[in-house]
Structure 1
């Protein structure tokens, strides 16, 4: 059995993590795989988030998860004992999005931290993404309180699961390369450089910052004492502003990580277990549904300009696929709405192009409508009714009436 701690910088329920989850679950050892729902337990849509995470792992990863329900530390004692019993049997446990400080408040002074630690120490895999990842270090950033409320930057005591399992003393910062702020610096889990510098100065000697980029996982193998970087971004080991960066595919020993995070200097070699001290790179291309929608919209426009109907239709279908694939991600914000808006705009353009060149209306628009209806049927089959309705409404806006019948979808041109 592989005793592992996995820290995911973001995208833990995104298409980017499917391969990694499958690999980890395929070698998890005995016991059930389970989700613990604490980090988002305060949210009014907590049940919906649970369902989305279960759906992602069932449909995309191919594994059914049990649920460790621990939304509050004052749950009835029988519910708490059931949760702890499930943690005690689990061979793989996942916690993800929500609020780091809320999770800490609900786990502190309970048996949960020891139970989470035990998952890995007995040979299982503990996967902590996004908000949950923030809690695993020696110190924890109260992200919401600082970024949303304006509380002065400060640290909370973390669970230090990382230190207990690896001997690495660090504060864990996911979303390390975030750039949602555009012109405003939202790197380092929305802190930005100014706040991180201030917080870094408050860390005790010997404690550094372990940063994990979005859509990136760091897999700590407790037995071999080696960490491996997987995904699309990098792992950053930072001490007092000096950063050692390891790209995806690289590995590093726990001892080397301890040395760098203590400020003993980065290596000057390219060996996999001796990272190079480098200048922090500029944030790369954001990997998200929004970036996919932007890319496909650009491809669509290029195809339309070139008169490439097949290429334009391929971009429409690929965007519909992307919307479905990313629909289970719990931290997309308004990206789904933006992608649907892009899809509607592409359909409108296709419709306008078909109308402008038609003689026999049904013959001209028919192939375009059939592609749109095929995308709509796929959306309906996957219960993505918002996308299905958006396609129908876009067609209706251009005089194409769609009817659902027992025999399937039918369409007519209004006034034809």
Structure 2
């Protein structure tokens, strides 16, 4: 089993609140061998603000006081950073084993990260040992599509999608991250769905032609993705919501879910070409192995679930291909009206 720790934690809000400190502690305590040596605060999303230094210091103080960490504050400081600044921040991110980024403007951050190619460094971190903890604006950047909240909510620009980092491509489909999902700050107007409201959010979804999953994370709630185990867990005061074109389901505080079950529940056929090679290399066992451990069985079950989704969507070509792959490895498939079962050939 892969003993490396690859955790992506996405906060709906409250990432520096006293209440959510226990979320960080829970992650740390779950991995007693985890020793954070190079924590980094990436303050790009809010560094354009006049009080960016004050905000950075407050985040630093939180991690020092609540979690006994002393993170490096990585800042590009300007719209056209010098090469030395880019080199320094790139080195800091590469060395980090705990990378935090939070509030501000998602489009400002994306623009600067792409210009400096820091976006590629962030993407590479997902398959390296350590923890990524993103919230609010930074959380918005993680999906295939990003909500430009400032432009829509503050400037009144016609709703549109910005191209995101696509950091959750390990789920096998296009994704949208929606922090502040159940926000009620507007009181007399709808500020749910990260302040833009449900009506505008639904209209934006209607513009998407391909399959997608949006992940809505309530206030003071975190969705913790364990990349190694292909499993997520919810912690906090609210829920995490998984929506598609056709349906939505939610999971509660303390509940867990396997990655493949997200698409299975939505009847979306995974795009296997979208899942990075690193994901298969690090987290999928060899189906030809003679070992009869549960790990091998889990991998077969994942393929069976993908095949069931394909069959329910009348994707017979993919269904037949998966059957052929399994049968070539000595796995016998039996389809009934209720489900698909399998057994090893003698």
Bin the TM-score by the shorter chain: 0.7 to 0.9
Alignment match, 1:227? 232
Pair 1:180 & 2:180 matched? no
Superposed displacement of residue 29, structure 1: 4.6
The 10-residue stretch of structure 1 (83-92 or 200-209) with the greater mean CA deviation from structure 2: 200-209
Superposed displacement of residue 144, structure 1: 0.9
Alignment match, 1:344? none
Pair 1:2 & 2:2 matched? no
The 10-residue stretch of structure 1 (116-125 or 152-161) with the greater mean CA deviation from structure 2: 116-125
Structure 2 distance, partners of 1:256, 1:210, is: 14
Aligned 8 A contact 2:123 2:165 in 1:
no
Q: Size of the alignment, in residue pairs?
A: 265
Structure 2 distance, partners of 1:155, 1:3, is: 28
Structure 2 distance, partners of 1:262, 1:49, is: 42
Partner deviation per Cα, 1:326-366 (whole Å, 9 max, x = no partner): xxxxxxxxxxxxxxxxxxxxxxxxxxxxxxxxxxxxxxxxx
Partner deviation per Cα, 1:270-298 (whole Å, 9 max, x = no partner): xxx99xxxxxxxxxxxxxxxxxxxxxxxx
Pair 1:91 & 2:94 matched? no
Superposed displacement of residue 168, structure 1: 4.3
In structure 1, the gaps of 5 or more residues are 265-272, 275-416
Counterpart among 222, 229, 253 of residue 217 in structure 1: 222
Counterpart among 14, 35, 58 of residue 41 in structure 2: 35
Structure 2 distance, partners of 1:258, 1:112, is: 30
Pair 1:108 & 2:95 matched? no
Superposed displacement of residue 21, structure 1: 1.6
Partner deviation per Cα, 1:155-202 (whole Å, 9 max, x = no partner): 000110111x44342111100000111131111001211101101111
Q: Under a length normalisation based on structure 2, what TM-score does the superposition of the two structures give?
A: 0.72
Superposed displacement of residue 261, structure 1: 5.0
Superposed displacement of residue 72, structure 1: 3.9
Structure 1 distance, partners of 2:101, 2:173, is: 21
Alignment match, 1:409? none
Structure 2 distance, partners of 1:30, 1:44, is: 31
Aligned 8 A contact 1:71 1:106 in 2:
no
Structure 1 distance, partners of 2:122, 2:26, is: 20
Alignment match, 1:160? 166
With over 3 angstroms needed to count, the CA separation of the structure-2 counterparts of 1:212 and 1:230, relative to structure 1, is same
Which protein has greater RCO, CA pairs closer than 8 Å, 6+ apart?
Answer: 2
Give the SS at the match of 1:16.
coil
With over 3 angstroms needed to count, the CA separation of the structure-2 counterparts of 1:160 and 1:146, relative to structure 1, is same
Structure 2 distance, partners of 1:253, 1:113, is: 27
In structure 2, the gaps of 5 or more residues are 270-301, 306-346
Pair 1:13 & 2:19 matched? no
Structure 1 distance, partners of 2:35, 2:266, is: 32
With over 3 angstroms needed to count, the CA separation of the structure-2 counterparts of 1:117 and 1:24, relative to structure 1, is farther
Structure 2 distance, partners of 1:124, 1:73, is: 29
- Aligned residue runs from structure 1 range 285-304, under 5 A: none
Computing the radius of gyration over CA atoms, which structure comes out larger, 1 or 2?
A: 1
Structure 1 distance, partners of 2:160, 2:267, is: 20
Superposed displacement of residue 20, structure 1: 1.1
Alignment match, 1:238? 243
Structure 2 distance, partners of 1:70, 1:234, is: 34
Aligned 8 A contact 1:104 1:158 in 2:
yes
Alignment match, 2:259? 254
Aligned 8 A contact 1:2 1:29 in 2:
no
Aligned 8 A contact 1:239 1:260 in 2:
no
Superposed displacement of residue 203, structure 1: 1.8
Alignment match, 1:336? none
Structure 1 distance, partners of 2:42, 2:267, is: 32
Alignment match, 2:85? 79
Give the SS at the match of 2:20.
helix
Give the SS at the match of 1:195.
helix
Structure 2 distance, partners of 1:168, 1:235, is: 18
Q: Under a length normalisation based on structure 1, what TM-score does the superposition of the two structures give?
A: 0.61
Alignment match, 2:155? 149
Aligned 8 A contact 2:173 2:213 in 1:
no
Aligned 8 A contact 1:171 1:208 in 2:
yes
Aligned 8 A contact 1:209 1:238 in 2:
yes
Alignment match, 2:176? 171
